[in-house]
Amino acid sequence: MKFFNLRANHTDVRTEVLAGFTTFISMSYILFVQPAMLAQAGMDKGAVFTATAAVSIFGTLMMAFIANMPIAISTGMGINSAFVFSVVLQQGYSWQEALSAMLLAGLLYLIVVITPIRDWIINIFPNDLKSAISAGIGLLIATIGLTGSGLIVADPATFTTMGSLTSPQSLLTIAGVLITLALYYYRIPGAIFLGMMVTTILGLVTGLVHAPSQVVSSVPSLKPTFGVAFSHLPSVMNWHILPIVLTFFLVAFFDTTGTILGVQKQMGTDRDTNKSLIASALGNISAAIFGTSPATAFVESNAGVSAGGRTGLTSVVVAILFALSLFFSPLLTMITPQITASALIVVGVLMLGNLKDIDWNNFKIAASAFLIVLGMPLTHSISDGILLGGGVYLVLSALDWIKKQFTK
C-alpha cells in the first residue's frame, strides 16, 4: 500500500475500504438509471449497463493511479439527458453519431487539460455561471423525472400540466420520491440507491413491477455499442456537430472541475488538480469507446471522503465493487420510469443547491444565470441554455467595456 501513501495521508486500509463502500453505495444507482435513460435513444440496455460499469471501473482506476484521489468516475447525470433528449431525440442525430461526437469531445478534453488552454477555459465564465449551469442541469433532469413518470404531462393549451395523481404509477412515483427525500434528509448513506430499492419492493408488492426469473447472470455483451464511435466518425466531421461537441466537453469539464475542487476542500488539501482532470479525460474517452454517455467525477465521492477516504485506494475499492456488479444485470428489468424518477428528481434538487453560489445582486450575473437555469428545462437542451445565458453575459460584458471606454 506504499503507492497510496496511506500513512502520509493519515488513513489506513480499513478506513479506505469503508470509504470505498460508502462511495459505491451512494452512486450505484447510476447502473440502473443509465440503461433506462439511454434505452430511450434506442440503445441496448444490457450493453449500456456493461459499458457504464466498464467506464466506472476504468475511469475510477485512472483516478486512483494517476491522481491518488478518492474520487469515482462514472457516466454523469444531466449530461446523459442531453445525450438522449437534446442530441438524439430533439436534434435527430443517431445515438451512434452522438457517441462519435463524444469521442471528439473526449479528445478535446484531453488536449485542453495537458495544455495551458485549461486555465483559459476555467476562467472564461465566472463561477456564478458555472453554478448556474449545474443548477440548470438539475432542473432539466428533475423535469425529465417528472414527465417520464407521468406526474407532469403534455397539454396543448398550457404546454404542460399535472398528470393523474391517483393512478397506481403516479402513486408509486410519489412514494419513491418521498422515501428517497426522507432517507437523504436523515443523511442515510446511499439514500438514492436505497430509495430506488424500497420503491422497487413497493412496486413488486403492488404488482406494478415484475421480478426477473434470475438475479445473477453472465455479463451482458458490449457488442452493440463497443467501438461504434469510431465507425461513425465520418458522418460527424462537419461544423454542425461543433455545438454538441462543445456541450459535451464543457459540461463534463466544469462538472468534474467543481467536484474535484469540492473534494479537495473537504479533505483540507490542495493536490495536483490537473492529474485528476487527465484521469477524467481518459474516462470520457473510454465512455465513447465502450458506448455510453459522457463520464464525470461523481459528486457522491464526497460521501466516501466524509467516511475517511483520502487516497486512491478508496477509488480502487469502488472500481472492484463496480466489477462485481456486472453479474447482476437481470435486475435492470425491474427499473421502471417510476423508480428512476425518484433518483432524477432528488439529484435535481441537490444540483439546484448551486443557486446559492450565484450573486443575484449583480444584474449581469443574475440575468445570465436566470436564462441558463430557465432555458435548459424549457428547451430540453443544455447547450441552448448555455447559449441563451452565455450570450447575454457576453453582450452585457461588451456593453460594460464600451461604457468604460467612454468614461475614461
- Judged by average pLDDT, the poorest of 101-115, 283-297, 387-401 is 387-401
C-alpha cell at 4: 497510496
- Give the pLDDT mean for 326-347: 83
Query: pLDDT confidence of 42, banded at 50, 70, 90?
Result: very high
Q: Residue 1: pLDDT band by 50, 70, 90 thresholds?
A: low
The structural domain count of the chain equals 1
Bigger pLDDT: 303 vs 15: 15
In a domain, 240, yes or no: yes
| pLDDT at residue number 396 | 92
Q: What angle do CA 144, 149, 154 make, to 5 degrees?
A: 70
Contact 137, 161 (CB under 8 A): no
C-alpha distances in angstroms, 48 versus 40, 80, 221, 296, 341? Answer: 12, 12, 9, 16, 19
Q: Is the pLDDT of residue 140 over 90?
A: no
Cell of 381: 437542451
Query: Residue 49 to residues 30, 185, 230, 290, 328: CA-CA distances in angstroms?
Result: 9, 29, 20, 10, 10
Long-range CB contacts (within 8 A, 24+) of 266-269? 266/302, 266/305, 266/306, 267/70, 267/305, 267/310
Q: What is the mean pLDDT of residues 16-35?
A: 88
Longest dimension (CA), the chain: 76
DSSP 322-381: HHHHGGGGGGGGG--HHHHHHHHHHHHHHHGGGGGGS-TTSHHHHHHHHHHHHHHHHHT-
Which residue range is the domain that position 257 belongs to? Answer: 6-351
pLDDT at position 404 is 83
Mean pLDDT for 230-240 is 91
Q: Are the C-beta atoms of residues 111 and 293 closer than 8 Å to each other?
A: no
- Helix (H/G/I), strand (E/B), else coil: 224: coil
CA atoms within 13 A on the CB side of 56: 30
Write the DSSP symbol of residue 233. G
The pLDDT mean for the chain works out to 89
Which residue from 317, 293, 316, 266 is spatially nearest to 79, judged by alpha carbons? 293
Distance CA 245, CA 177 (A): 33
Q: Is residue 396 part of a domain?
A: no
Quote the pLDDT of residue 263.
80
d(CA 104, CA 288): 9
Average pLDDT over residues 8-33: 87
pLDDT exceeding 70 applies to what percent of the chain?
Answer: 99
Residue 314's closest CA among 105, 118, 120, 23? 23
Residue 319 domain-assigned (yes or no) = yes
The pTM score is: 0.78
Q: Residue 378 falls within a domain, yes or no?
A: no
C-alpha cell of residue 113: 487539460
pLDDT surpasses 70 at 93:
yes
pLDDT at position 294, please?
95
Could you give the CA distance from residue 145 to residue 36 in angstroms, rounded to a whole number? 12
Residue 89 lies in a domain: yes
pLDDT at position 229 over 90 = yes
pLDDT on residue 363: 94
Which pLDDT score, from 0 to 100, does residue 326 have?
A: 93
What is the rounded distance in angstroms from the CA atom of residue 378 to the CA atom of residue 369? 14
Q: Dihedral sign for Cα 122, 125, 127, 130, please.
A: negative
Question: In the chain, what percentage of residues exceed pLDDT 90?
Answer: 47
Is the pLDDT at 68 greater than 80? The verdict is yes
Please give the residue that has the higher pLDDT: either 385 or 43: 43
Q: Which of 9, 37, 15 is nearest to 304 (CA)?
A: 15
51 is a domain residue = yes
pLDDT of 306 over the 80 cut: no
In this prediction, residue 124 carries a pLDDT of 76
| Residue 408, pLDDT score | 67
Using the predicted structure, report yes or no on whether residue 278 has a pLDDT greater than 90: yes
DSSP for 235-298, written as a single string: GG-SGGGHHHHHHHHHHHHHHHHHHHHHHHHHHT----HHHHHHHHHHHHHHHHHHTSSPEEE-
Give residue 161's identity as a one-letter amino acid code. Answer: T
Cα(247)–Cα(60) distance, rounded to whole angstroms? Answer: 23
Closest CA to 394 of 376, 360, 367: 367
**Residue 313: inside a domain:** yes
What is the model's pLDDT at position 72? 95
Under the banding of pLDDT at 50, 70 and 90, the label for residue 211 is confident
Cα–Cα dist 347/20, whole Å: 21
| Residue 151 falls inside a structural domain | yes
